[in-house]
Amino acid sequence: MSKIRTMVVDDEPVARERMVSLLQQEQDIELVGECADGQQAINAIQANHPDLVFLDVQMPACDGFRVIQQVGADRMPAVVFVTAYDEYALRAFEVHAIDYLLKPFGRDRFQQTLQHAREHLERQRAGDWGRRLLALVHDLKPEPQKLDRLVVKSGGRVFFLRTDDIDWIEAAGNYVRLHLGEEAHLFRETMNNMEGRLDLHRFVRIHRSRIVNTDRIKELQPWFNGEYVVVLQNGTRLTLSRGYREKLQERLGKGF
């Protein structure tokens, strides 16, 4: 397991030394810096990129909140605020601190805070790993090749059909029937597989047993119970089921 790169920022030497001493007793902590003021902290955080910072709130010239502003909240590591005044606690959580230590603190309270930090970082790392894993799968998993041409055998003849020429498709048992103008051809494929192989920018399912080429849609006519009739340019009339209405709206880029 990788160690937690940790930095301590406190302008009081005694408080700083106590935190360093406690941290050095933890096997999963790697101390990467000690800072006595806010400006040192800003430079050290930007240079060393720690995972966790114990950050004193009250420091002259540049306090803990100023450190976060200068580094940038989106670039700050996880923060535990260290303060002598609990009035700062609420503001600490407003800038997404994991926890805060109220001086003077005992070993048990320090251990509790450190455990909060461990759990936070573990969740953070798990989330980051999940995003990286999804990106890896996306990069390695080949996208299914979209069909642009079909080879259909019918009556001893072989037809080469361009998918762009298809007007609409209907389910026909273990086949689908492809409609191209006055022609119709049976093709051995399921509707679900056919839908997944077609160009989603052009073809849309309007019924569990029908897919239509959106370039062929002439108009939509209201029907009963929220359904519509899809009228194609060649006059073909097809029912748009309510369950597929939203999908067609998204594809056409407009509501109806």
Q: Give the rounded percent of residues in the chain with a pLDDT score beyond 90.
A: 44
**Per-residue confidence at 126, pLDDT binned at 50, 70, 90?**
confident
Residue boundaries of the structural domains of the chain: 4-140, 149-252
Residue 170: closest CA among 226, 237, 234: 237
The predicted pLDDT at position 86 comes to 73
Beta strands in 132-227 (DSSP E): 149-154, 157-162, 168-172, 175-180, 183-187, 203-207, 210-213, 217-222
Give CA–CA dist 6/64, Å, rounded: 16
Give CA–CA dist 50/41, Å, rounded: 11
Per-residue pLDDT of 130-166, as tens digits, reads 676 666 666 655 555 677 888 888 777 888 899 999 9
Q: Which CATH superfamily is domain 149-252 in?
A: LytTr DNA-binding domain (2.40.50.1020)
Q: Is residue 190's pLDDT more than 70?
A: yes
Q: Is residue 128's pLDDT more than 60?
A: yes
Give CA–CA dist 232/215, Å, rounded: 9
CA distances from 51 to 18, 120, 214 (A): 20, 11, 52
Whether the Cβ atoms of residue 38 and residue 67 lie closer than 8 Å to each other: yes
| 4-140 against 149-252: fold identical | no
**Per-residue confidence at 95, pLDDT binned at 50, 70, 90?**
low
Whether the Cβ atoms of residue 81 and residue 95 lie closer than 8 Å to each other: no
Q: Which pTM was predicted?
A: 0.52
Give CA–CA dist 94/67, Å, rounded: 15
**CATH architecture for segment(s) 4-140:** 3-Layer(aba) Sandwich (3.40)
Q: Is residue 202's pLDDT more than 80?
A: yes
Tokens matching residue 17: 């030394």
The arithmetic mean of pLDDT across residues 63-87, rounded, is 86
**Per-residue confidence at 89, pLDDT binned at 50, 70, 90?**
low
**Per-residue confidence at 179, pLDDT binned at 50, 70, 90?**
very high
